[in-house]
Chain A
Amino acid sequence: MSKFTSEAVDKYAKDLLFELSKEENTMVLNEFEIIEKNMEQIMKLPNLKETEPMTHPIELEMTLLRLDEVKDELSVEEVLSNTEHKTMENIIVPKVVE
């Protein structure tokens, strides 16, 4: 039995910093039902435990560490160019410590 309940869905949404409507919650549950069913099937596949999880499709060539040099640097002005909420070189947010 899946632990993926309506309450759990809301909790995950809260952890991910967004809220869900009731319809959105139901859609997640429905989709997960199919995944859960397929996962049960996956666990029956032969040699699963002996197979390494694949995290990446191709051997990486660029493995050397680069020198710790500054390059292609963005200016503070460029970095802050997408917000109106700024002062000097800082972004304005609500006071954190009361």
Chain B
Amino acid sequence: MKSIILDAQKKEKNALLEECKKNILENQAQCNSCVTIIEDATTKKETSSLLSNIPYVLKDNFSTKGIETTASSNTLKNYIPPYDATVYDRLNQTGAILLAKTVMDEFGMGGTGTTGHTGTVKNPWNLECIAGGSSAGSAAAVASGAVPFAIGSDTGDSVRKPAAYCGIVGYKPTYGLISRYGLIPFASSLDHVGILTKYVQDAAIVANEIKGIDSHDMTSWDSSQIELPSQLEKDISGKKLFYIKEIVDIENYQNPTEELRIILNQFQEVLKSLQELGAVVESKSISKDLLETLPSVYTCISSAEATSNLSNLTGIIYGPRGEGKTIEEIIVNHRTNGFSPLIKRRLIIGSYVLQKENQEKYFENAQRVRNQIVTIMHSFFKEYDACILPCAASIAPKIANANDEMKQDFAVLENHMVIGNFGGFPSITIPSSIVSNMPIGINLTAEQKEDEKLLNIACKLEEKLNFKGGL
């Protein structure tokens, strides 16, 4: 098993810190991954944790007392939280060293890494391509080798998709395994904390250090019996996995690109690798009509929740104050100038679907579809250990072509990872191969609270695939 963190532990701590500081400055110059760099970061007193004196970066939607936290939005420019997110607090207790706060799509509402207020994040594999989003800076920093790990957040696929585009591991644990206290919310029923690393073992180590019940987050739960790195090396012979045939069948896509054909062929090669490990892989079916609604269901639910969560952004108590003669004028000026067009679109849709006359047709029906899909997945997980699928229909798109407008071509393959958020299922992407000189990834998802099993399967598959595309 490979581990950047365990290798880093063998280095002298001052030398490691200086190396990572140099790396992060180089990464910033190249990829624009950071909103804030902690240039005066220093080594800490050794702790018994595996993360002691390991440098890392944190997405800029985690509250850090005394350090600017913007969620990459102009509405929070210069905002300095008076308290710490639990994740940051726990990492401080381990002795890990925060090196930077990373660029994201504004408030996490995007999948490109192009909407942050400090500019576009570039993919270290090809600077003309997006890193993906919304945890764009976190993914780019880890992929370039600047730091051993990064923390992100995942509401639709915001850790797993950029990880796939950047050729690294992106792990979103079961909903509530990691506290979200101090994470600036986007859509509370879908938001998860996630981890980005180069190897599965490192993701397990980091998640194990920051997980656990938190009295500040009523959605967190007692995971003291779960030891995430404990089963990584177990034999996976006999494990049963399924894929959803409607998602990977080329016949379901009109005008498939050559790239899509290659990605789906590569997926079949990954399935062969799993079978060589002794795993059983079978296909399961979910109605195409149901799968095609995924993007709209996600947009309805997440936008509605965001409308409520972002209503506290007025510029009165924090954030740059707008101009105006009345309180209302001040708030309108603050929000008009502060929110990007993408955020405004999401908030309007959220407000519309929450109107009394629209609630049942849009919001509640979206929640019903969510229930139907999650129920089907629960039924599959009674028989299978995990679901395996490709992460996306393409390699990382060119920056010039990237936008967050809803598209219908390949929509199911591009958006299926939201199922992990709908059901709170643990879900991980690992790099699998190279297509057109860019990495592609594989997504694995398991039943709630079966994170140990998921990481075990991911770790063994990672070993078998032996992805050699690291930068």
Q: Which residues of A approach B to under 8 Å, CB–CB?
A: 4, 8-9, 12-13, 15-21, 23-24, 27-28, 30-32, 34-35, 38-39, 41-45, 47-48, 51-58, 60-63, 66, 72, 74, 78-85, 91, 93-94, 96
Contact present for B369 and A48 (CB under 8 Å): yes
Known A51-B368, A53-B364, A58-B174; 19 more pairs at CB < 8 Å = A12-B351, A13-B344, A17-B328, A18-B336, A19-B336, A39-B365, A42-B296, A45-B369, A48-B369, A48-B372, A51-B372, A54-B422, A57-B421, A66-B215, A74-B83, A84-B321, A85-B316, A93-B327, A94-B325
With a cutoff of 8 Å between Cβ atoms, the chain B residues found around residue A17 in the complex are: 314, 328, 331-332, 335
Contact present for B341 and A27 (CB under 8 Å): yes
Q: How far is the CA of A79 from the CA of B365 in the complex (A)?
A: 40
B344 shortest CB reach to chain A, Å: 6
Q: A28-B349, A48-B365, A58-B448 are in contact. Are A96 and B296 (CB under 8 A)?
A: no
Produce 1/0 per residue, B15-58, CB < 8 A to A: 00000000000000000000000000000000000000000000
Q: A31-B345, A32-B349, A53-B368 are in contact. Are A42 and B293 (CB under 8 A)?
A: yes
Q: Which residues of B (429-471) have their CB < 8 Å from a CB of A?
A: 448
A-B contact count (CB 8 A): 181
Contact present for B332 and A19 (CB under 8 Å): yes
Q: How far is the CA of A51 from the CA of B376 in the complex (A)?
A: 12
With a cutoff of 8 Å between Cβ atoms, the chain B residues found around residue A20 in the complex are: 344, 348
With a cutoff of 8 Å between Cβ atoms, the chain B residues found around residue A83 in the complex are: 316-318, 321
With a cutoff of 8 Å between Cβ atoms, the chain B residues found around residue A24 in the complex are: 341, 344-345
Contact present for A58 and B371 (CB under 8 Å): no
B324 in contact (CB, < 8 A): yes
With a cutoff of 8 Å between Cβ atoms, the chain A residues found around residue B321 in the complex are: 83-85
Contact present for B372 and A58 (CB under 8 Å): no
